[in-house]
Amino acid sequence: MLDVLTIASALCFFLLLIQLSATAILLSRLLKGPSRHPPITPQDPTPELLGCVSVVIPTLNEALRIAPLLDGISHQSYEVREMIIVDSKSSDGTPELVKTAQQKDPRFRLMTDDPLPTGWVGRPWALHYGFLHTSEASEWFLGMDADTQPSPGLVAGLVKTAETQGYDLVSLSPQFILKYPGECWLQPALLMTLLYRFNPAGVNAEQSERVMANGQCYLCRRSVLAAVGGYTSANGSFCDDVTLARNIAASGYKVGFLDGAKVLKVRMYEGAMETWQQWGRSLDLKDASSRAQLWGDLWLLTAVQGLPLLVVFSYLFFSPPSLVWLSPSPSLLLVGLNVFLVVIRFAMLFAIAPSYDRNQAKGGWLFWLSPLADPIAVLRIFLSAFRTPIEWRGRKYSTQ
């Protein structure tokens, strides 16, 4: 029995060392939340914004979900000079939908990008191609994804915030639209892997390697994007938004990541399986991170998100009573710490609830049980961290 107690105590002490330092890092980030920049709100344009923004939207077989974007972006006012849709030879009727929208709003321009150059991933190439064809008279470049649903006043509010705060690049976290039970349970757990690793949206990162960004709505000064060579520095990245933002921050420009839940919605993936397969492949951010940073993030996620529920459940259901009474100190300290982390995790649900639109969701109540998916979400980050995608949005890539 003594040997078992010794091993159990050593294991508890080891886990405590791992989790205590990770918990301190997590709390240092979460405590910045009250001082964050308030969410972006819709605003009306003012005359000085006339024609200051060129919008570029990459597409590849987006016919089933691009309609809300086309409608929403056309309802932006005179601050938008042009809306360039760069299509990569879609076969599902996407170009025809854009042409129909163009008949109602001549600011739409449809073009097909050149064949994918060696070393490029499709999305950054389409955005780079579109950037090269934007008007030099535009002060701002706005990249948007086909699955976004912008509210009226988004662009004006975003530009005014960027100019007021002195940002050279600013991107937004959206409000996610959930529809099916599985994604209501899994998607918030995957999102939490980002919230635990980075400052809250609205809090600027002090180091360029900790900058966060979201390419679904990505506003950058055109002069800054030209100065860094467009998307060339992120040409082979499957998380080009974060890679480019960190490169721009490292060049001395001011980069921000703000809460856009009041002006931008997104319907990314259909169901839990597609969410697991598609979103999970880029959440590790390995293309934008050093190996040391990647391992550090994996350690943090394991300690504060992957382990807490497992430790608490193991203690409740599998710990022999004799271990509790004979060696209470390390085991009870460990359980107490993990109960604290579980409480934080459930409290975070209330913090992120405004980031979700569950009005159409079946089984929306599963959102409140998403902490139970945390070990699975952390496992997904591990699986992705050591694999290079070979297919993305219908394109196949070489592993060489």
In angstroms, the CA 271 to CA 275 distance is 6
103, 74 contact by CB (below 8 A): no
For range 360-378, the mean pLDDT: 96
What pLDDT is recorded for position 392?
62
- Give residue-wise pLDDT tens across range 10-64: 778 888 889 999 999 999 999 998 889 999 999 999 999 999 999 999 999 999 9
Query: Confidence band (pLDDT; 50, 70, 90) for 393?
Result: low
Q: If you average pLDDT over every residue of the chain, what do you get?
A: 91
Tokens representing residue 142 in the block: 């706005």
Span between the terminal Cα atoms of the chain, in Å = 53
What pLDDT is recorded for position 296?
95
Q: 200 CB contacts (<8 Å, ≥6 apart)?
A: 29, 30, 32, 33, 36
Query: Confidence band (pLDDT; 50, 70, 90) for 325?
Result: very low
What pLDDT is recorded for position 320?
56
Side chain identity at 98, as an amino acid letter? V
Does residue 390 register a pLDDT over 70?
no
In angstroms, the CA 330 to CA 310 distance is 17
351, 33 contact by CB (below 8 A): yes
Beta bridge partners of 177: 357
Query: Confidence band (pLDDT; 50, 70, 90) for 282?
Result: confident
Side chain identity at 397, as an amino acid letter? Y
Task: Please give the domain boundaries of the chain with CATH numbers for all domains.
Answer: 35-179+200-272 (3.90.550.10)
Tokens representing residue 268 in the block: 């990314």
Closest CA to 192 of 58, 45, 353, 77: 353
Does residue 110 register a pLDDT over 80?
yes
In angstroms, the CA 180 to CA 200 distance is 27
Does residue 4 register a pLDDT over 90?
no
Tokens representing residue 167 in the block: 């940002």
What pLDDT is recorded for position 394?
64
Query: Confidence band (pLDDT; 50, 70, 90) for 331?
Result: confident
What pLDDT is recorded for position 1?
43
Q: Which of 103-117, 131-145, 275-289, 357-371 has the lowest mean pLDDT?
A: 275-289
In sign, the C-alpha dihedral spanning 119, 121, 123, 126 is positive
**Share above pLDDT 70 across residues of the chain, in percent, rounded to a whole number:** 92
What pLDDT is recorded for position 8?
67
Query: Confidence band (pLDDT; 50, 70, 90) for 90?
Result: very high
Query: Confidence band (pLDDT; 50, 70, 90) for 319?
Result: low
- Give residue-wise pLDDT tens across range 182-192: 999 999 999 99
Tokens representing residue 175 in the block: 């409000």
What pLDDT is recorded for position 275?
92
Query: Confidence band (pLDDT; 50, 70, 90) for 2?
Result: very low
For range 285-309, the mean pLDDT: 95
What pLDDT is recorded for position 257?
96
What pLDDT is recorded for position 181?
96
What pLDDT is recorded for position 277?
87
237, 128 contact by CB (below 8 A): no
What pLDDT is recorded for position 161?
97
Query: Confidence band (pLDDT; 50, 70, 90) for 279?
Result: confident
CA 178 to chain centre: 16
Does residue 311 register a pLDDT over 50?
yes
